[in-house]
A and B are shown apart, each in its own frame.
Chain A
């Protein structure tokens, strides 16, 4: 019996070594941050409606927009939980019973008359065997998460990409037009004009000499400040789409490399995807707030 254990020991040692899944863990952290920034984007449908109500009396309720924002946040929560589970499964600490074994060996070793060396050897072997079991459980959990969860997550990200940017552009565009109309009318009623291209006026910056009344110049300044913030949000819809694409690419890489999650090639690819995500998340967070700090 002892010789069989001795023969098996090198194999146990080789198999029992934990796979380095630091890249998967890192990616999980970035995806969790990304989904937090998507919350801010989702919340924008409600926020934009409420801002537009300042200028549009026909927009009597924002209930539909609030429901859509809440639905998007709920979907992001499901994605966040999935990305978190991916990180938990990749984290060695989640799949170890070593603290329990150490406590058991310490207590057993302190019993009077017990051979401390035997306790140490037994607990060491038990530790290896249990590590094999836990490593297998970890692999099974991770594979299930990737095999079953990655296609579903990708499907949801695709659905977000297909609908949310267009909806957001329509809502933000309507808000911008309503605001432009309100300011244009105020300025025109004051005997001035905003020009046929308000965006061009704001790009150059309004000039006092172009207005007969000082109040109209002040209105133009206020308009340009507001429309600038809104335009930044519209421009960042592209970064939001890119962050969704990066998350999809990461899930593709995980799914195609699920048997070699510690392979250097995958680590390199995930590292690059993680950098792309960082860049786009920062742009989204800067425009919409929430998630990663710009």
Chain B
């Protein structure tokens, strides 16, 4: 039995007590028209309702306390799973980085080829090709 189980057990007891109070409220039946009997009915109703409200509030609070206790118990496992996931995503990102680097290398080759083109035949067209290749390379650099 964990702490969460114990708390949930206690919450169930309070909920059961609230349910008994509900049954007693229903058993009161219609409020009597007679003034004296009506006042007695009001007092009974108020007592039962106050008790029920308190029991229900405690049960509700404890039900959430049980969840918080269970989460605290699992803090280490949550941290470990976060680490496992982060390492896997880093591995996947690493592969994607390699692909990007290869593409970057291709752009370096494009610049080199454009430089050769300008050296072999300087012209407006070859200079524009060089400028475009450099632009593409610099655009890829973050």
Contacts from A to B (Cβ < 8 Å): 45, 48-49, 52, 56-60, 64-65, 67-69, 71-72, 75, 78-79, 81-82, 85, 88-89, 94-101, 103-104, 106-108, 110-112, 134, 137-138, 140-141, 144-145, 148-149, 152-153, 155-156, 159-160, 162-164, 166-168, 170-171, 173-175, 177-178, 180-181, 184-185, 188-196, 198
Contact = CB atoms under 8 A, between A and B. Distances in A.
A137 B98 CA distance: 13
A71 B73 CA distance: 12
B102 to A, nearest CB: 3
A65 B110 contact: no
Contacts of B112: 111
Nearest to A167: B63
A254 to B, nearest CB: 14
Interface string B78-119: 101110110111011011101111110111011011001100
A113 to B, nearest CB: 9
A221 B88 CA distance: 55
21 contacts: A59-B56, A59-B61, A64-B68, A81-B82, A82-B81, A85-B85, A85-B92, A112-B120, A145-B85, A149-B84, A163-B66, A170-B60, A173-B15, A174-B56, A174-B60, A174-B63, A181-B49, A189-B31, A191-B30, A193-B26, A196-B27
Contacts, number: 239
A170 B63 contact: yes
Contact of A97 (B80, B87, B99): B99
B115 to A, nearest CB: 11
B30 A192 contact: yes
A174 B92 CA distance: 47
Nearest to B79: A78
B106 A100 contact: yes
Nearest to B29: A193
A100 B68 contact: no
Contacts of A188: 28-31, 45
A77 B20 CA distance: 39
Nearest to A134: B95
- A-B interface, 7 closest residue pairs, ranked by CB to CB distance from nearest: A100-B102, A68-B64, A58-B53, A100-B99, A107-B106, A103-B106, A97-B99
Contacts of B59: 170-171, 174
B106 A162 contact: no
B33 interface: yes
A156 B81 contact: yes
Nearest to B81: A152
Given A56-B57, A162-B70, A155 B45 contact: no
A50 to B, nearest CB: 11
Contact of A107 (B23, B96, B110): B110
Contacts of A168: 63
Nearest to B51: A58
A178 B21 CA distance: 10
A112 B64 contact: no
B11 interface: yes
A177 B18 contact: yes
A242 to B, nearest CB: 20
Contact of A166 (B8, B21, B89): B8
Given A68-B64, A170-B12, A180 B22 contact: yes
B85 A149 contact: yes
A181 B22 contact: yes
B109 A57 contact: no
Contact of A178 (B52, B71, B80): B52
